[in-house]
Structure 1
Amino acid sequence: MKTGKVAESLFGGGSERKVVLCDGAMGSMLYGRGVFINRCYDELNLSQPDVVRGVHLEYLQAGAEVIETNTYGANSIRLKRFGLEARVAEINLAGVRLARECVDQMREKQGSEAFVAGAMGSLGDLTVSAEEAFAAFSEQVRALAQGGPGVGADLLIVETLPGMLEAEQAIRAAKAEAPALPLIVMVTVSESGDCLDGTSPEEAARRMTEWGADAIGCNCSDGPATVLSVIERMRPMTTLPLAAMPNAGQPRAIDGRSLYLTSPEYMASFARRFVQAGATFVGGCCGTTPQHTRAMRGALRALEAQATGVQAVESGAAARVVASKVEPPPLAERSRVGAKIATGAFVTMVEIVPPKGIDTTHELEGAEELHRLGVDAINVPDSPRASARMSAQSLCVQIQQRVGIETILHYTCRDRNLLSIQSDLIGASSIGLKNVLCLTGDPPKMGTYPDATAVFDVDAIGLVKIVEGLNHGLDIGGNAIGASTGFTISVAANPGVPDIDNEVRRFAAKVEAGAEFGITQPVFDMRLLEQFLKRIEGFRIPIVAGIWPLTSVKNAEFMKNDLKVSMPDEIMRRMAAAGSPEAARATGIAIAQEMLTAARTMVQGVQVSAPFGKYKAAAQVLGVV
């Protein structure tokens, strides 16, 4: 492994290896700015430098820690098609200079640190010999590395290689011409999952490791899922850092233009999975944009922060205050809900959604009636589906102070950074809120203000660790806060998701982080609940089942298609057969009662939703009216 400032910053070592966010596409960004595909994009470094600078700056502003020079095709073999083969050095030097100017500009303005990667792509000609490939790569490396790190490129990235001939010669050239620069080498694969020359990812990983690359991986290809599969196959074959930089799906021809339609949120979800599969360098290729990079940055920050609470207590300044750690009260003494959970009693909860304005009359009257009927607690969602509503904390306080029934505060990571999260939670404890449901939160794109910015410093797992730390009297940095916040900690679970393996893994991580009971999404298929409970037997905590009284067949269709809730065909038929709105509501209540009866023997409580504020319907489901 290379040594030096750049290598230490980007590669780290052992368990301290950090995740590095690289930028996305340059070519498709230039195409989106009206540069036709018959142009030599690398030559734009000379003729239209401001356009190239603009792309670099957008990626840096989105959070990229490594930006690649606009030199993917700046080798003599590709440049020959445009009559530019004599200008290899000039084009590559200009590409490095532009990227360096942008990195320096961002450092001066914002103090952010980023690195310049000299980008080299495939030669674009499968008929070239090994000698020709070595010569072409060597010439480009010399230009990109001229001046050394901080002047020339800080590292080299060779990408979209179709097979082992080019991979070997690119590595040889880099080691010969710039032995001090870290080198990342990535292949591309076909739909079969193998390199274009037929080499398997396993064999490619073995060979590139032996030849001396500093990191290896896969880029381009036909999207995130394929690249994830390649990374998973490479991981057992090498100890090197892995790199994953997929296309944003396959391009689609729309109005005469090739567009990539994979959303930033989808790419962000795979950024997490790349890291979980062992990737150190994560970025994008064709079709990815600064919007994708920003979303991936949020996802990676969430992963990084998950372990922060534990690490802070175990190292550095936090080690000096570990003696201030306190034991929280027993679960049975923290809240009435906690007492029921601790003693194995059956818990009943009803969800009351905060209003969109300042008038809480309807919500307080509903809570009053539910309290009178014997419901144990009120669940208060936190801006569900990313809609702008009264804060959940405000409604919780009003319900507890004016009605007297205990509340469960839903708390999402979507809108708050680490400072805000801790401030909110310490404040919530001080005013008597003692039950918290830790959630990641729906992305803003789903809600009423899709252009709002998400934070996601942590996800639900990281949030549980923060709350667990506060319960032990320590903030995320290991500093004493004086006393335990005394929260009962609950988390969400969804037995009906398509990727149940990932859901089980995440639930296990939530339990390990400190969750004390779980609340499921609405359940309509008891087989799925039963299967989920069986899957979590080894780390099971008390489970409260979500129950939703359907109001119409349209409501059922929305749950199935928009919220992706598993909805058996039989339930759809029953709701469709209802002859009037009243009959539909009655059928929905009957189905919910059946779900409750079936779940009662499997779980320790139920949370009943009150669609459209119909609190009487929730009470009917519980059988208390």
Structure 2
Amino acid sequence: MSQLLNKLKNNILVADGAIGTILYSEGLDTCPEAYNLTHPDKVQRIHQSYIEAGADIIQTNTYGANFEKLKVFGLEHKVKDIHQAAVQIAKQAANNDTFILGTVGGFRGIKQEALGLSAIQYHTEIQVDTLVEAGVDGLLFETYYDLEELTNIIKATRRKYDIPIIAQLTALNTNYLRDGSEINTALKQVAASGADIIGLNCHHGPHHMQQSFSHIELPEGAYLSCYPNASLLDIENSEFRYSDNAAYFGKVAQQLINEGVRLIGGCCGTTPEHIQFIKSSVKDLKPVSDKKVIPITKQSSRSNTTSQQQTLTSKVKQQPTIIVELDTPKHLDTDKFFRNIKKLDDANIDAVTLADNSLATVRISNIAAASIIKQQYAIEPLVHITCRDRNLIGLQSHLLGLSLLGVNEILTITGDPSKIGHLPGASNVYDVNSKGLTEIALRFNKGINTDGDALKTKTNFNIAGAFDPNVKKLDGAVRRLEKKLESGMHYFITQPVYSAEKIKEVYEATKHLDAPFFIGIMPVTSYKNALFLHNEVPGIKLSDEILEQFEAVKNDKAKTKALSLKLSKDLIDTVHEYFNGLYLITPFQSVEYTLELAAYSKQITSNKQEAIL
């Protein structure tokens, strides 16, 4: 057994606190880990200050020193150099009784990460190998939000090295991880993966950490650790800060020891003063061998009363189904918009889709329009949600509001960038993309909030995805579609198509997928409109024959409309040969086009069904 683990058998050990907090307070304008190369004396001074405060254990200044995070600062080629320097600095600061932990931070944070698990393991292995070769006494895996990531990293490390492993999860909630699993259960999995010391760090201050540990059992074959933040974050004079609460921190440390913690340190906002108070308050304490665990009071998630409504997915699998896109106005004169909604409702259209500031252009909130439609009409609103305009907080609030209104049909889209719209200087958010938003909605459908707690009522979102078949390489678009399907989307709505050949091509390319498709048809309203679509809309090409037909009638509105409707009806014929779903995109609020095409669609599908009978 290593000296570190042997020491923990009968003793409480105190670890250090934050390094970055101190460096930022001194004017750091790069990543803290860069200072291992440029200002090693400052890093060493921080280590020494923690040792002088009573820390038995210090950690290397390598938390964010992985390839992906260093790439932001142009330092990705310095991964090994930074880790080697960090261990050397820590050794210079340490005394004979100091243990040095090589610190590795998690990749998967609160925001969605595009990096796959194999890539994460590859980059982490470089860090681990460098730290072990440099001679650390143990490895500290900290701030892991994702249980799968942490357990896989531990297993991979344990296969290579017999070295003490401290593994700490980070939870947004005092009882649950993001995936809804109880922290106590998750920590058992961490221990089973090969960690010697398991626990929590970051996000919560001492008070909430103590609440979490009151539900955590003493593990078999492992010890407990806890590195709380100094407090909740506050903002003062436009700067983030933590409370000056070192004495309080020390008092709560005693409670954490009583909950079974044997290794206690500090995370964000903590300083040598915090560690000094911890050391003073726990110096006479011994590890507990037994504790009373407070069970978590589970909150059941009941289903939303609207869950019995038939979804568009189930409906389109059974019979031809029509949805219509009708953009909300750019102004507050909504009379025409709601008259058109009434016409679509009277025509028994299955759903009206409401875009979310499409083409980055400001329109009336679609959630407001959907609310009125739910109250006053029978037609189902299908609300688009773009990731461009709302951060993770706003997106979740938006989803919860839609559920409260009984709006369950949603289309998740990443969204056009602001620079293509009327306000090119507006900020793009993109905390997640359409797949990430879908995953959030699916969590809500399970009754789980993003911090892992219960919503008390399950949402019932039926989630559509967007599909653009107007690309040069359809096979690549279909591969992206498959990934969307894997993320949990239930059905797909396509961009408008303008040839029967394209409809057949889409069918052949997607027939292996178990998901309904609504094929987009948008009538061409004029010769100018045809030229615009052909020349300026990426991916859309009209045949020379169609362009010539519109040019021939360009001065006759009636003939132009007749031609437009004929061509659209021909496309609808092809759509219904291969698909049950039809998506009619209303051009320029001209709902008369949509109504006639919807009536035609209903007539031909009715004729087919009668012929079958």
TM range (shorter): 0.5 to 0.7
Find the residue that maps to 2:578 and give its secondary structure. coil
| Farther off after superposition, 571-580 or 607-616 | 571-580
1:337 aligns to 2:312 (yes or no): yes
Q: Give the drift of 1:457.
A: 1.4
Aligned to 1:579: 554
C-alpha displacement of 1:566: 2.6
Give the aligned partner of residue 549 of structure 1: 523
Shift of 1:432: 2.4
Confirm or deny: 8 A CA contact 2:465 2:492 kept in the other structure: yes
SS in 2 for 1:379: strand
> Which residue does the alignment assign to 1:114?
31
SS at match of 2:384: strand
Does the C-alpha gap of structure 1 residues 321 and 548 become closer, same or farther in structure 2, counting only changes over 3 Å? farther
Q: Could you report, residue by residue, the CA deviation over 1:61-115 in whole angstroms, capped at 9, with x for unpaired residues?
A: xxxxxxxxxxxxxxxxxxxxxxxxxxxxxxxxxxxxxxx98785478xxxxx933
1:515 aligns with 2:515: no
**Structure 1 pair 544–242 and aligned structure 2 pair: CA distance change class (3 A):** farther
Tell me by how many angstroms 1:322 deviates: 8.4
Change (3 A) 1:436 1:555: same
Aligned to 1:59: none
1:442 matched to 2:416: yes
CA distance in 1, matches of 2:378, 2:84: 75
| Residue type at the aligned position of 1:523 | V
Assess, with a 3 A threshold, how the Cα gap between structure 1 residues 376 and 451 changes in structure 2: closer, same or farther. Answer: same
Q: Deviations over 1:229-267 (max 9, x none)?
A: xx99xx99x945799xxxxxxxxxxxxxxxxxxxxxxxx
Q: Which residue of 2 aligns with 1:417?
A: 391
1:492 aligns with 2:466: yes
CA spacing shift, 1:147–1:597, aligned 2, 3 Å: same
* Contact kept? 1:326, 1:472, Cα under 8 Å: no
Moved more, 416-425 or 497-506: 497-506
Q: Contact 2:311 / 2:462 at 8 angstroms: preserved in 1?
A: no
Distance 1:512 1:176 in 2: 40
Distance 2:536 2:44 in 1: 50
Amino acid at match of 2:543: D
Aligned residue identity for 2:594: A
Is the CA contact 1:437–1:492 (under 8 Å) kept in the aligned structure 2? yes
- Corresponding residue of 2:586: 610
Question: Where do 5+ consecutive residues of structure 2 fail to align?
Answer: 1-21, 48-59, 68-75, 91-103, 105-114, 127-171, 187-295, 604-613
State the distance in 1 between where 2:471 and 2:89 align.
44
What is the root-mean-square deviation of aligned Cα atoms in Å?
A: 4.6
- Does the aligned pair in 2 maintain the 1:544–1:604 contact within 8 Å? yes
In the aligned structure 1, how far is the partner of 2:79 from the partner of 2:450? 43
Seen in structure 2, the aligned counterparts of structure 1 residues 529 and 116 have a Cα distance that, compared at 3 Å, is farther
- Give the one of 541, 544, 553 matched to 1:567: 541
CA distance in 2, matches of 1:440, 1:389: 17
Tell me if structure 2 keeps the 8 A contact 1:377–1:408.
Answer: yes
Mapped to 1, the partners of 2:89 and 2:345 lie a distance apart of 67
- Indicate the larger mover: 585-594 or 544-553: 585-594
Cα offset, 1:595, TM superposition:
1.3
Change beyond 3 A, Cα 1:180–1:569: farther
- The 2-side partners of 1:381 and 1:566 are apart by 20
Q: Distance in 1 between matches of 2:379 and 2:81?
A: 71
CA distance in 1, matches of 2:508, 2:360: 32
Contact 1:474 1:480 in 2 (8 A): yes
Q: Is the 8 A contact 2:495 2:519 kept in 1?
A: yes
1:351 aligns with 2:321: no
| Partner SS state of residue 539, structure 1 | coil
Q: Aligned letter for 1:534?
A: E
Q: Show the counterpart of 1:362.
A: 336
Superposition map of 1:189-200 within 5 A: none
**180, 197, 212: which one pairs with 1:313?**
180
Rg larger in structure: 2
Deviation at 1:179, TM superposition (A): 7.4
How many Å apart are 1:149 and its aligned residue?
7.2
Change (3 A) 1:241 1:603: farther
Task: Read off the aligned partner of 1:507 and give its amino acid letter.
Answer: L
Counterpart contact for 1:328–1:472, Cα < 8 Å: no
The answer to whether the 8 Å contact 1:103/1:115 transfers is no
Q: Which amino acid aligns with 1:115?
A: P
Q: CA deviation at 1:330?
A: 10
1:317–1:478 contact (8 Å) kept in structure 2 = no
Task: Specify the SS of the correspondent of 1:312.
Answer: coil
Residues 556 and 572 of structure 1 are in contact (CA less than 8 Å); yes or no, is this contact kept in structure 2?
yes
What is the one-letter code of the residue matched to 1:312? D
> Counterpart in 2 of 1:477?
451
Q: 1:501 deviation in Å?
A: 4.4
Q: CA deviation at 1:323?
A: 7.7
Q: Is the 8 A contact 1:399 1:407 kept in 2?
A: yes
Superimposed CA distance per residue, residues 22-53 of structure 1 (whole angstroms, 9 cap, x where no aligned partner): xxxxxxxxxxxxxxxxxxxxxxxxxxxxxxxx
Distance 1:104 1:502 in 2: 49
What is the Cα deviation at residue 536 of structure 1? 3.5
Report the residue type matching 2:523 in the other structure.
P
Look up the SS of the partner of 1:340 in the other structure. helix
Checking the alignment, whether the CA contact within 8 Å between 1:412 and 1:440 is kept in structure 2 is yes
Tell me the distance in 1 between the aligned counterparts of 2:458 and 2:80: 59
Partners of 1:510 and 1:329 lie apart in 2 by 28
1:477 Cα deviation (Å)? Answer: 1.9
C-alpha distance 601-321 of structure 1, shift in aligned 2 (>3 A) = farther
- Taking the aligned partners of 2:448 and 2:37, their CA distance within structure 1 comes to 52
CA distance in 1 between partners of 2:492 and 2:41 (Å)? 57
TM alignment of 1:532-543, pairs within 5 A: 532-543=506-517
Residue identity opposite 1:396 in structure 2 = A
Counterpart of 1:588, as a letter, is S
2:520 partner SS? strand
Superposition deviation, residue 177 in structure 1: 7.9
- Rate the CA distance shift 1:344–1:117 in 2: closer, same or farther, 3 A: same
Number of aligned positions between the proteins: 382
Tell me what 2:372 maps to. Answer: 398
Q: TM-score, normalised by structure 1?
A: 0.52
Q: In 2 relative to 1, CA 171–356 (structure 1 residues): closer, same or farther, beyond 3 Å?
A: closer
Q: Which amino acid aligns with 2:578?
A: M
Residues 331 and 364 in structure 2, CA contact (< 8 A), matched pair in contact too? yes
How many angstroms apart in 2 are the aligned matches of 1:525 and 1:374? 27
Shift of 1:393: 0.9
Query: Is the 1:556–1:567 contact (alpha carbons within 8 Å) kept by the matching residues of 2?
Result: no
Deviation at 1:328, TM superposition (A): 7.3
AA matched with 1:547: I
- How far apart in 1 are the matches of 2:371 and 2:306? 23
2-side partners of 1:179 and 1:419: how far apart? 39
Distance 2:506 2:560 in 1: 29
Deviations 1:473-519 (A, max 9, x none): 22222221122222222111111223544432332222222222111
In structure 1, stretches of 5+ residues that fail to align are 1-99, 108-112, 119-140, 159-166, 183-213, 215-230, 244-304
Instruction: Check conservation: 2:498, 2:542, Cα contact below 8 A.
Output: yes
Q: Is the Cα–Cα contact under 8 Å of residues 323 and 583 in structure 2 kept in the other structure?
A: yes
1:405 deviation in Å? Answer: 1.7
| 1:525–1:566 contact (8 Å) kept in structure 2 | no
Q: Return the alpha-carbon distance in structure 1 between the equivalents of residues 478 and 400 of structure 2.
A: 30
Q: What is the alpha-carbon distance in structure 1 between the residues aligned to residue 82 and residue 583 of structure 2?
A: 61
Aligned to 1:221: none
Q: Name which of 357, 371, 383 aligns with 2:357.
A: 383
Contact 1:559 1:565 in 2 (8 A): no
SS at match of 1:363: helix
Shift of 1:545: 0.7
* 1:290-301 superposed matches below 5 A: none
Partner letter of residue 438 of structure 1? T
Structure number with higher relative contact order (C-alpha < 8 Å, ≥ 6 residues apart): 2
Under a length normalisation based on structure 2, what TM-score does the superposition of the two structures give?
0.53
Percent of residue pairs bearing the same amino acid type: 24
1:491–1:518 Cα contact (<8 Å) kept: yes
Deviations 1:413-442 (A, max 9, x none): 111122222222222122221211111111
